[in-house]
Homo-oligomer: A and B are copies of this chain.
Amino acid sequence: MAGQRRMVVVGGDAAGMSAASRARRLRDREHLAITAFERGRLASYSACGIPYWTGGVVDGPDALVARTPEAHRERGIDLRMLTEVTELDVAGQRVRARELTSGRETWHGYDDLVLATGARPLRPPLEGIDARGVYGVQTLEDGRALLEGLERTAARRAVVIGAGYIGVEMAEALVRRGCAVTVVERSAQPMATLDPDMGALVREAMSGMGIEVVTDTAVTGVRTGADGEAVGVATSAGDVPADVVVLGLGVRPETSLAAAAGLPLGESGGLLTDLAMRVRGHANIWAGGDCVEVLDLVSGRTRHIALGTHANKHGQVIGMNVGGGYATFPGVVGTAVSKVCDLEIARTGLREKDARAVGLRFVTATIESTSRAGYYPGAREMTVKMLAEQGTGRLLGVQIVGREGAAKRVDVAAVALTARMTVEQMTALDLGYAPPFSPVWDPVLVAARKTATLIR
């Protein structure tokens, strides 16, 4: 069709389908053909919801699907499920797609290509890692397999490998399923995205919930029984028996397709883009979501951060740009929130080691406060740690560990980091106050005040 451009999307989850949907709203079928390839059985789902599905907190998997393939097709996106893109021909502006059921391969030309290939879970090459009873939690299929495994074996003991976000969220889920849970972590504390002193608070709280947290310990293999099914893990501190083993080690960018095509990758293996989410040096190739590195606005370096909220933003930006508009994704400050049972965990900006890595001199202050006025029912304690640059007082990072009402307070710091505020400026922030919502000095303000006193 004359004047019709072709948009091809590789990967049918948050970034890819957001890009496709946004472009479709800007350009009708006459002017833009959109084809999307997804190698799995599901598109546009919330992988972040898997721990809550496993824990029985939310229904699944349908509730976790934001939009079905049929709904995408009704909106004029030719979404091909169970179809994997196996080759990218940059010079020829085309991709080769393989239908997984038939094995049939076809080439598809593009005017604009969107790479949204996501991430793959870390799966260390350990003996027994592929045994029955070892589960990833990356896709809804993984979630379903784990739930089936839990039921089939009437699991009583679970081991989670890795105490990062996925690990601690899965620990909660397995506790809810009635398992005795051991989390094995190589670092000195759980939640290595926090400084160790704040991670220690998480460890203490998890222990209080009856979750065994084994740190400074490497998993060396998965033990299997006579039937080949996992019966525990072998670690540098001895064996830990388990009916199910869950891999919670985080993810790496899935960029093998891009790498083979010679596209630029960063240190973590993620695609490098400009602010418009265009792959560097390629005018008509875009990338977003878990397969890219993003600019960290605090450190000035690019990082890999797999988070659905970023993927959605990337998709919006790409869709705007492909659809004929203009948008940019300026970068991140590294905000993340999570919880284990009633313990809330949040962080944004740089940890101590991040600040050291970029050569910043900094001060830190840690304070304790409450979510509401101390006299108001339901006031819960929280610990706030703040980092600021020595000399200038510029905010560098905030970490919060507490109970109900703790985590989302990190948003104030996220905005302050974006605006490059100093901690002195933060002490005057006009945050909402009423006894049911905050002490008269919000915990973030208390932390800013204490940090400000340390700036010279």
Contact = CB atoms under 8 A, between A and B. Distances in A.
Interface of A: 14, 46, 48-49, 52, 57-59, 63-64, 307-310, 312-313, 316, 328-339, 344, 346, 348, 373, 375-377, 405, 407-412, 414-416, 418-419, 421, 425, 427-438, 440-442, 449
Contact of A339 (B49, B339, B415, B436): B436
A430 B338 contact: no
Contacts of A14: 440
A58, A334, A421 — most chain B CB neighbours (10 Å): A58
Nearest to A444: B411
Contact of A414 (B409, B431, B436, B438): B431
Nearest to A65: B375
24 contacts: A14-B440, A46-B440, A48-B434, A52-B436, A58-B375, A309-B441, A310-B430, A313-B427, A316-B449, A329-B428, A335-B430, A335-B431, A336-B434, A348-B430, A407-B432, A408-B437, A408-B438, A411-B431, A412-B412, A414-B431, A414-B432, A415-B421, A416-B419, A418-B430
Given A49-B435, A52-B436, A432-B336, A416 B414 contact: no
Contacts of A59: 375
A409 B442 CA distance: 13
A335 B407 CA distance: 20
A262 B166 CA distance: 65
A348 B433 CA distance: 12
B307 A433 contact: yes
Nearest to A297: B430
Given A309-B440, A415-B416, A375 B46 contact: yes
Given A412-B411, A418-B430, A419-B421, A373 B332 contact: no
Given A309-B433, A416-B419, 7 more contacts: A57-B376, A308-B440, A339-B437, A405-B408, A408-B409, A410-B432, A419-B421
A352 to B, nearest CB: 20
4 smallest A-B Cβ distances: which pairs?
A: A419-B419, A337-B432, A309-B433, A415-B415
Contacts of A335: 430-433
A448 to B, nearest CB: 11
Contacts of A440: 14, 46, 48, 308-309, 312
Contacts of A427: 313
A7 B52 CA distance: 58
A14 B439 CA distance: 13
B430 A63 contact: no
A329 B58 CA distance: 46
